[in-house]
Amino acid sequence: MSDIVSVRREGDVAVVTIDNPPVNALSLRMRQPLYAALEALGTDDGVKAIVIACAGATFVAGADITEFGTSKALERPNLPDLCTLLEDTAKPVVAAIHGTALGGGLELALACHFRVAVPSARLGLPEVKLGLLPGSGGTARLPRVVGPEKALKMIVSGNPIGAAEALKSELVDAIAEGDLVADAVKFAAAKAAEGKPLVRIRDRDEKLAPVRENTQGFEGLIAEVTRKARGLEAPIAAAAAVRNAIEMPFDAALKAERDSFIHLVQGDQSRAQRHLFFAEREATKVAGVGKDVQPRPVKRTGVIGAGTMGGGIAMSLANGGIPVTILEMTDEALERGLGTISKNYSVSVDRGSISAEERDARLGRINGTTDYADLADCDLVIEAVFEEMPIKKEVFGKLDAIAKPGAVLATNTSYLDVNEIAAATSRPADVIGMHFFSPANVMRLLEIVRGEKTAPDVIATALDAGRRMKKVPVVVGVCHGFVGNRMLSSRSAELESLLLEGATPEEIDKAFLDFGWPMGPFQMGDLAGLDIGWRTRKSLGKTAVIGDALCEMGRFGQKTGKGFYLYEDGSRKPKPDPEVNKLIEDKARELGVNRRTIPAEEIIERTLYPMVNEGAKILEEKIAQRPSDIDIVWTNGYGFPIGKGGPMFWADLEGLPKVVERLEHWHGKTGNDVFKPAASLKQLAATGGSFSARPA
Ligand code: COA
């Protein structure tokens, strides 16, 4: 008995209760008493069956991630020891599952003879999201229970399934309709009374045999995993482990799985993904917004503008169960916007990602108006009109006149001064930036921009709304472009220089793809529309030799069939265009730039190191609260590869002295100030410091 693991008797059934808040993770201090309790109960003749249950919000939600990479994770008893002990117990052991049985928690449950769950329980093996694979039998046991194809999908996606689906696929044996522990005790007593031989999952083969005989479907799935892995090791290792479960004897598969886990847990990719797991949770802790600051209630919302952004924001709100009224200037624009939303939802129904009923429910939460007065009782209004200060000010002036007292007034501006927008109202404390990323209903990042006068409970309200929309909110300060777009612009000039100096758009894009980005910067530009950047540059009095020339030729990207690439017959597949290469060569000649072959390493250094440098300046100016917030912005809003943990974590992996040395090198060569190392970056490099708060 300990504080964390306690045992009580219900007749001749022993109930073992784990109480290790917040999520009953399998830390060493929990494993030790659990092992001791189970060992004692196994030899106690008065005990006929055992139930393992958890106190608090959830069943065991996994290994203790903070222990990974430390000696505690390796100390015995480890989770495989616990699983072996459970599986070999000569009396029925039943896992009683509520909340989430995840990772090591599900592995523990799979080593039990039976599983009983409440209807709201969720079960899964999310290790791949941490750059790992299940390391305590998950890949060997789950395929034996639910079949290899379903197991592969669950393990490689990391997504949990609900209790009903788990019952259907035999992952749970019964759903508890009443009190979970009481039902599990009844179930365990009945199994003990039956006295049938206990079947260990390790000895089951009935779902493996058919796939062993016909591997085509399974191998097809493995090929798909490999294709989609994009440089990540974990999904490929996980898929290989499931194949081992089919092909190898159980113990050999178990050993191979453990070896693979140990290899991955020591690697940079898993370190990076674990960093992001904690970073995402850390990002919601905002200075000056303590737990005592309550969000304002948000029951009704408004969105101003039914364009691409406004429509996507309205969908996000509706998806989060929040009713929304969209305001447009004309009936036609409103109809067009609502039509697009309706079409987008129908595409989701056709793809099977939501049901027709769900679509109707979401659409039912969206209505439209052309009259500002209809926004008068909204608790939160998000403006998504043109990125021009006079227009924004006019909109906020009108909002100020009609919005009810206490309503939160948010702007979706991607770079304008939120303080200036707030000053157009009589209530700057209620004004905040809520910067969504396109497509707003898909992208998870939400930059919340706190103005000089924004009230703490307004920040709390934006954070809460973000969570309800299932976004990843990060609070940032006011500056041109905030965190994301400011860092993005620090690399744009170098992209142009690299083109002029001899790299082709496809060479640069390939260097980015090889780095792990989903898309290169020129493919991205063509997708977003080159005219957007052109318009912004013009408003700022800036130029880009190649980008501007392409726009002057009417080459706006995919929407005009031509941009940095050629898109034939409405295809989205970029084809290199000799006309663009000639344009670049001509411009280089005009400017007297010598052309040469540029290695991929140089492309990465000259585009991504300036971003790290800008990130350091952003931290100096306190625009971002911590380096890991910047990593969350970049991995969730711009596709920075998760296996590298975001730009600041990646800089640590590169080594800060190297980053500073190369920045100084390029600063000397190009004179471009984006390379001039920030004082704080130099200081960190010189003192052996690092950006990552938790270099586990
Ligand atoms: N190990 C250590 N700490 C963990 C943890 C784990 N496996 N899972 C969660 N925590 C911590 C979080 O860091 C957070 O700490 P904080 O309050 O100091 O920020 C706290 O537990 C609560 O977690 P949070 O995610 O905020 O709560 P939630 O109720 O939204 O979600 C879970 C609960 C269990 C669904 C979610 O935490 C989760 O998915 N955990 C990871 C599960 C996993 O990957 N398991 C496999 C590990 S190999």
Given this model, what pLDDT does residue 230 score?
A: 85
Q: Determine if ligand 1 sits within 6 Å of the CB of residue 8.
A: no
21 CA from centroid of ligand 1 (Å):
10
pLDDT tens digits for range 553-578? 999 999 999 999 999 988 889 999 99
**How many angstroms is it from 25 CA to the middle of ligand 1?**
8
Tell me, yes or no, whether 233 and 106 share the same domain. yes
Classify residue 488: in a domain, yes or no. no
Cα(76) to centroid of ligand 1, in Å? 23
In angstroms, rounded to a whole number, what is the distance separating the alpha carbons of residues 530 and 532? 5
Mind listing the pLDDT tens digit for each residue in 333-383? 999 999 999 999 999 999 999 999 999 999 999 999 999 999 999 999 999
Give the atom of ligand 1 at the shortest distance from the alpha carbon of 278. 13
| Ligand 1 pocket, residue 618 CB under 6 Å | no
User: Cβ–Cβ contacts within 10 Å for residue 224, how many?
Assistant: 14
The residue whose CA is least distant from atom 21 of ligand 1 is 22
- Given a contact cutoff of 8 angstroms between Cβ atoms, the answer to whether 462 and 408 are in contact is yes
Type of residue at 470: K
Average pLDDT, the chain: 96
> With a 6 A CB cut-off, is 61 part of the ligand 1 pocket?
yes
Shared-domain flag, residues 23 and 103: yes
Q: What is the pLDDT of residues 438-494, one digit of tens each?
A: 899 999 999 999 999 999 999 999 999 999 999 999 999 999 999 999 999 899 889
- Nearest atom in ligand 1 to the alpha carbon of residue 122 is 35
Q: How far is CA 75 from CA 63, 71, 144, 263, in A?
A: 13, 6, 29, 17
Q: Which of 18, 20, 23 to mutate to test the pocket of ligand 1 (most atoms within 8 A of CB)?
A: 23
Q: pLDDT (tens digit, 9 = 90+) per residue, 298-326?
A: 999 999 999 999 999 999 999 999 999 99
Residue 103 lies in a domain: yes
SS3 assignment, position 63:
strand
Q: Is 624 in the pocket of ligand 1 (CB under 6 A)?
A: no
Which residue's C-alpha comes closest to atom 16 of ligand 1? 281
Q: Are residues 103 and 66 in the same domain?
A: yes
User: Cβ(457) to ligand 1 under 6 A?
Assistant: no
Nearest CA to ligand 1 atom 20: 22
Tell me, what's the pLDDT at 1? Answer: 64
- The ligand 1 atom at the shortest distance from the C-alpha of residue 126 is 44
Residue 671 covered by a domain? no
Cβ 79 under 6 angstroms from ligand 1: no
pLDDT score recorded for residue 537: 86
pLDDT digits (tens, 9 = 90+) for 649-659: 999 999 999 99
Which DSSP string corresponds to 264-290? HHTSHHHHHHHHHHHHHHHTT-BTTB-
Q: Where are the alpha helices (H) located in 502-557, listed in sequence order?
A: 505-515, 521-528, 530-540, 545-552
Ligand 1 atom nearest to 129, measured from its CA: 44
- Select from 455, 73, 465 the least CA-distant residue to 270: 73
Residue 481 backbone zone (phi > 0: left; psi -120 to 50: alpha; other: beta): left
Report pLDDT for 74: 84
Query: How far is ligand 1, taken at its centre, from the CA of residue 277, in Å?
Result: 8
Q: Is the pLDDT of residue 540 over 90?
A: no
Runs of H (alpha helix) within 302-404? 308-319, 331-351, 356-364, 389-402
How far does residue 128's CA lie from ligand 1's centre (Å)? 15
Is residue 403 scored above 60 in pLDDT? yes
Which residues are the active-site residues? 107, 127
- pLDDT category, 548, cuts 50, 70, 90? very high
Q: Is 104 in the pocket of ligand 1 (CB under 6 A)?
A: yes
Is the Cβ–Cβ distance between 431 and 451 less than 8 Å? yes
Q: Report which ligand 1 atom has the smallest distance to the Cα of 127.
A: 48
Distance 261 CA to ligand 1 centre (A): 20
pLDDT at res. 696: 40
Residue 102 lies in a domain: yes
CATH of the domain at 238: 3.90.226.10
CB 411 within 8 A of CB 420: no
Tell me how far the alpha carbon of residue 657 is from its chain's centroid. Answer: 30
User: Phi and psi (nearest 5°) for 674?
Assistant: -60, -20
pLDDT in tens, 620-649: 999 999 999 999 999 999 999 999 999 999
Residues near 74 by beta carbon (within 8 Å), at least 6 away in sequence: none
Confidence of residue 539 (pLDDT cuts 50, 70, 90): confident
DSSP 211: H
Q: Write the CATH number for 333.
A: 3.40.50.720
The number of folded domains in the chain is 3
316 CA distance to ligand 1 middle (Å): 24
Q: In this predicted model, what pLDDT tens digit does every residue of 267-289 receive, in sequence order?
A: 999 999 999 999 999 999 999 99
Query: Does 462 share its domain with 525?
Result: no
Short-list 204, 12, 169, 181, CA closest to 94? 181
CATH of the domain at 538: 1.10.1040.50
Please check whether residues 115 and 165 belong to one and the same domain: yes
Mean pLDDT on 171-197: 97
Q: What percent of the chain has pLDDT over 90?
A: 94
In short, whether 490's Cβ falls inside 6 Å of ligand 1 is no
**65 within ligand 1 shell (Cβ under 6 A):** yes
Identity of residue 95: A
Q: Whose CA is nearest to atom 47 of ligand 1?
A: 62
138 lines ligand 1 (CB under 6 A): no
Containing structural domain, residue 518: 503-591
Centre of ligand 1 to C-alpha 62, Å, is 8
Task: Report whether residue 123 contacts ligand 1, using a CB cutoff of 6 Å.
Answer: no
**Quick check: CB of 22 below 6 Å from ligand 1?**
yes
CA-nearest residue for atom 19, ligand 1, is 281
325 and 261 assigned to the same domain? no
Tell me, yes or no, whether 232 and 313 share the same domain.
no
Given 542, 557, 591, the domain boundary residue is 591
The residue out of 543, 559, 591 marking a domain boundary is 591
Q: Which residue has the least CA distance to atom 13 on ligand 1?
A: 278
85 & 188 share domain: yes
Predicted confidence at residue 570, as pLDDT, reads 80
Q: Are residues 256 and 185 in the same domain?
A: yes
Q: Is 672 part of any domain?
A: no
Q: What is the pLDDT of residue 695?
A: 41
**Residue 321, domain member (yes or no):** yes
pLDDT tens sequence across 498-523: 999 999 999 999 999 999 999 999 99
Cβ of 102 closer than 6 Å to ligand 1, yes or no, is yes
Q: Is the distance from CB of 130 to CB of 268 less than 8 angstroms?
A: no
Domain's final residue, options 553, 572, 591: 591
Residue 459 lies in a domain: yes
Query: What order of strands is seen across the sheet that includes strand 122-124?
Result: 100-102, 122-124, 161-162
Amino acid 262: pLDDT: 94
Range list of H helices, 90-215: 104-111, 138-146, 148-157, 163-168, 180-194, 209-213
- Tell me the pLDDT tens digit for each residue of 93-126: 999 999 999 999 999 999 999 999 999 999 999 9
**Over residues 525-538, mean pLDDT:** 90
pLDDT digits (tens, 9 = 90+) for 671-681: 999 999 999 99
Q: Best substitution site from 27, 30, 31, 65 to test ligand 1's pocket, by max atoms within 8 Å of Cβ?
A: 65
Q: Which helix (H) or strand (E) holds 254?
A: helix 250-265
pLDDT (average), residues 192-214: 95
Do 369 and 229 share a structural domain? no
For 17, the enclosing helix (H) or strand (E) is strand 13-18
Residue nearest to atom 10 of ligand 1 (CA): 23
Residue 125, ligand 1, Cβ within 6 A: no
Atom of ligand 1 nearest to the CA of 134: 48
Average pLDDT over residues 61-77: 91
Ligand 1 centroid–CA 23 distance in Å is 6
Separation of CA 191 and ligand 1 centre (Å): 33
Q: Are residues 156 and 108 in the same domain?
A: yes
CB of 25 closer than 6 angstroms to any ligand 1 atom: yes
**DSSP-based helix, strand, coil % in the chain, nearest 5:** 55, 10, 35
Residue 192 CA: distances (Å) to CA of 45, 90, 157, 311, 691: 13, 10, 36, 58, 55
- Residue 285 CA, closest ligand 1 atom number: 19
Ligand 1 binding pocket includes 403 (Cβ within 6 Å):
no
Nearest CA to ligand 1 atom 40: 61
Q: What pLDDT score does 693 carry?
A: 57
Do 95 and 149 sit in the same domain of this protein? Answer: yes
- Per the domain annotation, does 522 fall within a domain? yes
Alpha-carbon dihedral 107, 109, 112, 117, rounded to 10 degrees: -160
How confident is the model over 24-61, as pLDDT tens digits? 999 999 999 999 999 999 999 999 999 999 999 999 99
Q: What is the mean pLDDT of residues 83-94?
A: 97
